[in-house]
Amino acid sequence: MKFKKSIYVIISALFSIAFHYVIAQTGFSNPIIKGFNPDPSICRVDDDYYLVTSSFEYFPGLPIYHSKDLVNWEQIGHCLTRDAQLPLEKAAASGGLFAPSIRYHDGLFYVICTNVSSGGNFFCTATDPTGPWSDPIYVAIESIDPDIFWDEDGKTYFVTQGNEGIRVTEIDIKTGKVIGPEHLVWRGIGGRFPEAPHLYKKDGFYYLLLGEGGTEYMHSATIGRSKNILGPYESSPLNPILTHANRIGQANPIQGVGHADLVQAKDGSWWLVCLGFRVTQPYSYYHVLGRETFLAPVDWPQGGWPQVNGNGTISLDMKTATLPLKPFSKPAIRNDFDKQQLGFEWQYLRNPLRDNYSLSEKKGWLTIKTTPNTLNDAKPISAILRRQTEHNFTATTLLQFESSKENEEAGITLIQNNNHHYDLLIIKHKKQNIIQLRVKVGSLSYIAAERIVQGNQQKLRVEGTPQQYIFSVANPDSENYSEIGKLDTRYLATEVAGGFTGVMIGLYSTSNGIPTNAKVFFDWFDYKTI
Ligand code: 6LW
């Protein structure tokens, strides 16, 4: 009997080792969500993971992603899809929605966020993370980076950033009403901008995870713990538990890592999602893709401190065992505009002028009506935009432009914000169609190249490399692209343009200040990454 039992123990141990090395897969690539997707927050419901990132002045707001394995993610919707939920009229570039948090409690999903341009802190709820989400329930606490923590005694706390440190305040979860005093609970380890708080309870301790150092090259994640939710919090001896602002991080192509959230997988393993940015090359100190979402394994022994990926750094090529991988199918390169709605990847700048877009007016084409507002205005414009997700990409569109007026133009733009964009456009001048490559970098604005083209249809193409964007055109039936010009990527970098977003690729039309309501048609849009 004893012998049988030990054979059984040995066989199951062998199975578990085989599972670890054979079934659990080894290695994954970072970032897990590419292009402008900062401030990630994550929650798990059984075998499913949900993640939300910030979206600033873009509409709809707060993309929501789903995964079965933490490595492969698919967007399933947005939290804020109705104008009433997301007023963005007053949102300048990088205004609007700051860092969100996503939580699941008692059968309800919660997204907690701040609209810094209107209304402040709020949370929304949904029974299904694909939506619909409730209207915002506002919470009268001035701050950013809010989270909600449900304590075991039934009390609910709003956890937020504060200039002095992290604050914890009891609220009524039904109404959002503040029902207790604000407590400053921890200042972190002394880095600038203690923010991005998330609170967890484990092994009898409250753990408070922070971002510190600001969201640039000094960024980090730190953690403290306390037996009492209101503190005092003791700093981890491993702090900062994540940063590249040190010697081992100095040559890393990922910089600015910080602003993190923790999640425990069903198998008991712990993981961290965080933001970081890929510089255009090591030591270049320019990034154009915005802050993206990264994943790292966490070792968190019982009663001990969490340790991120061994030494508190992450890499593009992560050599670590993952959960069994469940990839999604890859998105198609071509968007033919033959569906009734645009895909989740498309965004508007501020609340959309809905009458200006149609997918049915000219079948199989996207119709965009011009507005007087231009790409230089911090206003709603006539454009659909998607993230640049890799340094190396090709974006191409076929456009039909039938304007007879000199104030009307349409084209493809690479836009970091309304003061920093490169536009490849078609415009009428002396009855001729002219292609222009236009630069807007702060107070500098000029036409870098121009050329007369024949006919009303043109293919416009942008190729991206880490250092340059290459702009070219071709006739509708030709694959023979002719180069219009090259521009440096660095002048669209966050280090030049400022702000919290990343480069977006847009299809747009404008009537340059004069209300004319012309129409421009886009047949398809190809986006290919290399
Ligand atoms: C966000 C703050 C931050 O609210 O940047 O990286 C701000 N961290 O936590 C905007 O994303």
Ligand 1 centre distance from Cα of residue 227 (Å): 28
Q: Beta 41-45 vs 48-52: how paired, if at all?
A: antiparallel
* CATH node for 334-529: 2.60.120.200
CB atoms closer than 10 angstroms to residue 103: 22
Give the pLDDT of residue 27: 95
Ligand 1 proximity of 435 Cβ (cutoff 6 Å): no
Residue in 52, 97, 98, 219 to alter for ligand 1 test, most ligand atoms within 8 A of Cβ:
98
Ligand 1 proximity of 38 Cβ (cutoff 6 Å): yes
Ligand 1 centre distance from Cα of residue 224 (Å): 20
Nearest to 65 by CA among 32, 24, 108: 32
Strand segments (E) across 430-518: 432-441, 444-453, 457-464, 468-474, 482-488, 504-510
DSSP state of 2: H
Ligand 1 proximity of 195 Cβ (cutoff 6 Å): yes
Positive or negative CA dihedral for 124, 44, 290, 246? positive
Distances (CA, A) of 159 to 111, 143, 189, 511: 13, 10, 18, 46
The two structure tokens encoding residue 482: 């002719």
Ligand 1 proximity of 211 Cβ (cutoff 6 Å): yes
Residue in 39, 112, 294 to alter for ligand 1 test, most ligand atoms within 8 A of Cβ:
39
Ligand 1 centre distance from Cα of residue 395 (Å): 29
Ligand 1 proximity of 499 Cβ (cutoff 6 Å): no
Q: Name which residue sits closest to atom 10 of ligand 1, judged by CA.
A: 98
Ligand 1 centre distance from Cα of residue 120 (Å): 15
Given the structure tokens 């997918």, which residue do they identify? 359
Ligand 1 centre distance from Cα of residue 215 (Å): 6
CA-to-CA distance for 201 and 433, rounded, in angstroms? 64
Give the pLDDT of residue 22: 45
Q: Is 39 a catalytic residue?
A: yes
Q: Rg of the chain's alpha carbons, rounded to an integer?
A: 25
Ligand 1 centre distance from Cα of residue 58 (Å): 16
Phi and psi torsions of 421, nearest 5° = -155, 155
Contact 405, 388 (CB under 8 A): no
- In ligand 1, the atom with minimum distance to the C-alpha of 195 is 9
Q: Name which residue sits closest to atom 9 of ligand 1, judged by CA.
A: 196
- In ligand 1, the atom with minimum distance to the C-alpha of 98 is 4
Phi and psi torsions of 20, nearest 5° = -60, -45
Query: How many Å separate Cα 374 from the centre of its chain?
Result: 24
DSSP state of 312: S
Residue in 161, 292, 500, 501 to alter for ligand 1 test, most ligand atoms within 8 A of Cβ:
500
CB atoms closer than 10 angstroms to residue 155: 14
Reduced to 3 DSSP states, what percent helix, strand and coil does the chain have, rounded to the nearest 5?
5, 45, 50
Q: Name which residue sits closest to atom 3 of ligand 1, judged by CA.
A: 215
The CATH number of 33-318 is which of 2.115.10.20, 3.40.50.720, 3.40.50.300, 3.30.420.40? 2.115.10.20
Nearest to 123 by CA among 154, 102, 106, 142: 102
Ligand 1 proximity of 113 Cβ (cutoff 6 Å): no
Ligand 1 proximity of 500 Cβ (cutoff 6 Å): yes
Annotate 124-140 with DSSP letters as a single string. Answer: EEESSTTSPPPPPEE--
CA-to-CA distance for 261 and 277, rounded, in angstroms? 17
Task: Delimit the CATH 2.115.10.20 region(s) of the chain.
Answer: 33-318
CA-to-CA distance for 351 and 85, rounded, in angstroms? 11
CA-to-CA distance for 528 and 530, rounded, in angstroms? 7
Distances (CA, A) of 104 to 107, 111, 199, 301, 310: 7, 9, 14, 24, 29
Ligand 1 proximity of 39 Cβ (cutoff 6 Å): yes
Q: Name which residue sits closest to atom 6 of ligand 1, judged by CA.
A: 215
- In ligand 1, the atom with minimum distance to the C-alpha of 258 is 6
Ligand 1 proximity of 145 Cβ (cutoff 6 Å): yes
Instruction: List, edge to edge, every strand of the sheet that includes 432-441.
Output: 383-387, 504-510, 409-417, 420-429, 432-441, 444-453
DSSP state of 304: S
- Per residue of the chain (530 residues), give pLDDT as tens: 444 555 555 555 455 444 444 456 789 999 999 999 999 999 999 999 999 999 999 999 999 999 999 999 999 999 999 999 999 999 999 999 999 999 999 999 999 999 999 999 999 999 999 999 999 999 999 999 999 999 999 999 999 999 899 999 999 999 999 999 999 999 999 999 999 999 999 999 999 999 999 999 999 999 999 999 999 999 999 999 999 999 999 999 999 999 999 999 999 999 999 999 999 998 889 999 999 999 999 999 999 999 999 999 999 999 999 999 999 999 999 999 999 999 999 999 999 999 999 999 999 999 999 999 999 999 999 999 999 999 999 999 999 998 889 999 999 999 999 999 999 999 999 899 999 999 999 999 999 999 999 999 999 999 999 999 999 999 999 999 999 999 999 999 999 999 999 999 999 999 999 998 899 999 999 999 98
The two structure tokens encoding residue 351: 């609340």
CA-to-CA distance for 108 and 110, rounded, in angstroms? 6
Ligand 1 centre distance from Cα of residue 71 (Å): 23
Residue in 36, 144, 275 to alter for ligand 1 test, most ligand atoms within 8 A of Cβ:
144
Nearest to 167 by CA among 149, 154, 152: 149
The two structure tokens encoding residue 439: 């630069």
Q: Where do the H-state alpha helices sit in 135-190?
A: none
Contact 168, 161 (CB under 8 A): no
Phi and psi torsions of 403, nearest 5° = -70, 155
Ligand 1 centre distance from Cα of residue 455 (Å): 47
Torsion angle in degrees (nearest 10) through CA of 221, 500, 114, 135 = -120
The one catalytic residue among 69, 195, 212, 423: 195
Ligand 1 centre distance from Cα of residue 99 (Å): 6
Ligand 1 centre distance from Cα of residue 489 (Å): 24
The two structure tokens encoding residue 412: 């493809």
Phi and psi torsions of 76, nearest 5° = -110, 0
Contact 211, 179 (CB under 8 A): no
- In ligand 1, the atom with minimum distance to the C-alpha of 99 is 4
Instruction: Show Cβ contacts of residue 199 under 8 Å, excluding neighbours closer than 6 positions.
Output: 147, 149, 157, 159, 168, 206, 207, 208, 209, 229
Task: Delimit the CATH 2.60.120.200 region(s) of the chain.
Answer: 334-529
CA-to-CA distance for 339 and 493, rounded, in angstroms? 33
Q: Is 390 a catalytic residue?
A: no
Q: Name which residue sits closest to atom 5 of ligand 1, judged by CA.
A: 215
Burial of 355 (0-12, 13-18, 19+ CB in 10 A): exposed
CA-to-CA distance for 108 and 486, rounded, in angstroms? 50
Terminal C-alpha separation, the chain: 60
Distances (CA, A) of 284 to 217, 277, 499: 12, 12, 19
In DSSP terms, 264 is beta-bridged to: 270
